[in-house]
Structure 1
Amino acid sequence: MPTYEQDFYQWTIEQAQALRERNIKALDWDNLIEEIESLGRDYYKDCFSYAVLIIVHRLYIDYWVAQRERNQFHWQGEIDNWQTLIQNHLTTNIKNKLEKEWDTIYHQARQKFIKKTGIDTLPESCPYTLEEILE
């Protein structure tokens, strides 16, 4: 039987089979726990990243006047894509955690916007709510 470190893919197949069969002795508990926790972290990180990207692109539309006419439809299309992706992962708990970290999310988005555009006259606090970002 391959171990977690030797052949992760085969390990997942065997662990799934052991779960289906309720074969408790065949389960690799420590690695299963780590993988389940990792799945949750990954879902949250994805939502965090999509929120940052959505805010950056909203900032482009609202504050990068010189490029708005040329790029606004592309930026809005990107926003629409990320909103769909975030909705696919969003749970009540993830949403609550995003709300708690909203200042950090905005700070990251603001920094990305400034780095790309050179425009640093943005509001210090996020001009959007989480609900507006998710719409």
Structure 2
Amino acid sequence: MPNLKQDLKQLYERDFLLWVEENLRLIKEKNYEEVDWGNLLEEIEDMGRRHLDSAVSYMAVIMEHLYKLEQFKADEKMGKGWVKSVLNSRDRLELMLKREPSLRRKLEENLSWAWEEALLNLVAWFRDNEDLAEKFFGKLPSKEDFPSECPYSFEDVLSYEPWGRSND
């Protein structure tokens, strides 16, 4: 008789959707002994991590654009897209927090991780805008040219609006 557990482990690599359906069937039938628990637990953990990663990315975009609005708005025409991006990302983030309130605590704990991602975005943006890199830094900046500590609180990410004031 074939080993169902071993077959499921192989199915996980070959046909993920079928693997999910088979494990779901086994759980519904209360056939817990045959469930591929190792991969199933890993997938459940990964689901939570994906939600957190997505929310952290929204925070990173918000911080990147807040920082650009504060520090690198070269003229009055610049920044409208950044404001729109901040507002859109906040809408998405607020929807996620409404749907998953426990995410708030995790996001507060991962603020510095979001800032790290924002720094990567800032460096990449200056690579695409060498004239601004020259104007503000005299060179292409690296992560070390920006604050290592996150300059924003979680509440700033959710509500701070620097576009309402002068950036002189």
Give TM-score scaled by structure 2 length: 0.63
Taking a change above 3 Å as real, the CA distance of residues 16 and 85 of structure 1, as seen in their structure-2 partners, is: farther
Q: What does 1:42-81 align with in structure 2 at a 5 Å threshold?
A: 42-66=50-74, 69-81=76-88
Aligned to 1:22: 30
Runs of 5+ unmatched residues, structure 1: none
Give CA-to-partner distance per residue, 1:77-134, whole Å, 9 cap, x none: 2222222333344445543333334334324424532552434686554332112212
Structure 2 residue 112 is matched with structure 1 residue 99: no
CA distance in 1, matches of 2:116, 2:106: 16
CA distance in 1, matches of 2:102, 2:80: 32
Taking a change above 3 Å as real, the CA distance of residues 76 and 16 of structure 1, as seen in their structure-2 partners, is: farther
| RMSD between superposed Cα atoms in Å | 2.8
Structure 2 residue 28 is matched with structure 1 residue 5: no
Identity, % of aligned positions? 28
State the 1:54 CA deviation: 1.0
Decide which moves more: 25-34 or 110-119: 110-119
Taking a change above 3 Å as real, the CA distance of residues 70 and 18 of structure 1, as seen in their structure-2 partners, is: farther
Decide which moves more: 98-107 or 50-59: 98-107
Q: What does 1:27-38 align with in structure 2 at a 5 Å threshold?
A: 27-38=35-46
State the 1:33 CA deviation: 0.6
The size of the alignment, in residue pairs, is 134
The answer to whether the 8 Å contact 2:64/2:119 transfers is yes
Taking a change above 3 Å as real, the CA distance of residues 21 and 134 of structure 1, as seen in their structure-2 partners, is: farther
CA distance in 2, matches of 1:30, 1:133: 37
Instruction: Look up the equivalent residue of 2:114 and give its one-letter code.
Output: I
Give TM-score scaled by structure 1 length: 0.76
State the 1:56 CA deviation: 0.3
Instruction: Look up the equivalent residue of 1:128 and give its one-letter code.
Output: Y
The answer to whether the 8 Å contact 2:57/2:117 transfers is no
